[in-house]
């Protein structure tokens, strides 16, 4: 197996942490960004005590200049970024008629514009080295829409449009670009949905429970593997059967 450097944005969150653990288990060097140094340090220590050394770089994914600097720092510390997982994201749920411009822009910036900012900083290197794996962590709600999430659903749907365009432009450079669309996974983000609303959502999931972060990480590890070289432009739904569009 070739050891590579993987950058997972928003790695300190529920799904991000699981992706980092999976990629580290496969023998890769793993890196993530953070905004809050105190939170990041306690998370880094917890990962280290579980045997995963993570290269930590401060950087806000909504800021293009900060992303450029962040990627250069990761490269200095860990080598060229061959695997990028655009995982950072936020919600600002409210019905559209109540949504203000900041709630719209915050979500578009953190979930979608971040993909431009970070990917732009790694793509030239991947093209020059003729190898790369890029995965967008989108959402079931980018596929089916969600009451209260016009901002988030728009950003998440946009992420797959981004994937399939990049997939076409970069295929001949050995770079694959895919999307993973998780359903409702038991992370802080989902647990922040009011309990009675969440219970109704879980009742719609045929498998009968929330997903586990590891169930998403497993697919990311598959897409980023050496042998997934003929899979590009795919969007893999992992949602317990909650949405079965095709």
Rule CB under 6 A: choose which of 189, 228, 234, 238 binds ligand CAA.
Answer: 189
Per-residue H/E/C for 129-167: HCCEEEEEECCHHHHHCCCCCHHHHHHHHHHHHHHHHHH
| Residue 163, both tokens | 């994937």
204 touches ligand CAA (CB under 6 A): no
Query: What minimum distance in Å lies between the beta carbon of 203 and ligand CAA?
Result: 12
For residue 196, what are the contacts with CB-CB under 8 A and spacing of at least 6? Answer: none
197 touches ligand CAA (CB under 6 A): yes
Which of positions 39-68 make contact with ligand CAA (CB under 6 A)?
A: none
90 touches ligand CAA (CB under 6 A): no
> Distance of alpha carbon 194 from its chain centroid, rounded?
24
Query: What minimum distance in Å lies between the beta carbon of 94 and ligand CAA?
Result: 5
Query: What minimum distance in Å lies between the beta carbon of 92 and ligand CAA?
Result: 10
- In the block, tokens 């190898």 appear at 131
Which of positions 102-121 make contact with ligand CAA (CB under 6 A)?
A: none
Which of positions 147-176 make contact with ligand CAA (CB under 6 A)?
A: 147-149, 152
93 touches ligand CAA (CB under 6 A): yes
- 22 catalytic, yes or no? no
Q: How far apart are the first and last CA of the chain?
A: 34
Cα distance between residue 77 and residue 189, in whole Å: 31
Q: Which residues are bridge partners to 135 per DSSP?
A: 85, 178
Residues of the shown chain interacting with ligand CAA in the complex, contacts defined by CB under 6 A: 91, 93-95, 98, 139-141, 146-149, 152, 183-184, 189-190, 193-194, 197, 201
Query: What are the residue numbers of the active site?
Result: 152
């Amino acid at each position: 197996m070739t050891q590579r450097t993987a950058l997972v944005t928003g790695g300190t969150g529920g799904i991000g942490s699981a992706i980092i653990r999976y990629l580290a288990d496969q023998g890769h060097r793993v890196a993530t960004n953070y905004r809050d140094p105190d939170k990041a340090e306690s998370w880094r220590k917890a990962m280290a005590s579980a045997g995963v050394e993570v290269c930590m770089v401060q950087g806000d994914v909504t800021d293009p200049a900060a992303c450029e600097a962040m990627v250069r720092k990761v490269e200095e510390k860990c080598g060229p970024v061959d695997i990028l997982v655009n995982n950072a994201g936020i919600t600002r749920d409210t019905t559209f008629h109540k949504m203000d411009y900041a709630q719209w822009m915050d979500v578009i910036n953190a979930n979608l514009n971040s993909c431009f900012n970070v990917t732009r900083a790694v793509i030239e290197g991947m093209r020059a080295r003729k190898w790369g794996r890029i995965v967008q962590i989108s959402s079931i709600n980018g596929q089916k829409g969600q009451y209260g999430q016009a901002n988030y659903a728009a950003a998440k749907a946009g992420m797959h449009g981004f994937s399939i365009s990049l997939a076409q432009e970069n295929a001949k450079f050995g770079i694959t670009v895919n999307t993973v669309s998780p359903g409702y996974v038991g992370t802080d983000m989902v647990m922040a949905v009011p309990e009675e609303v969440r219970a109704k959502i879980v009742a719609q999931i045929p498998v009968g429970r929330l997903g586990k972060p590891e169930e998403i990480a497993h697919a990311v590890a598959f897409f980023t593997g050496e042998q997934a070289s003929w899979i590009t432009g795919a969007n893999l739904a992992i949602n317990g059967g909650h949405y079965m569009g095709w």
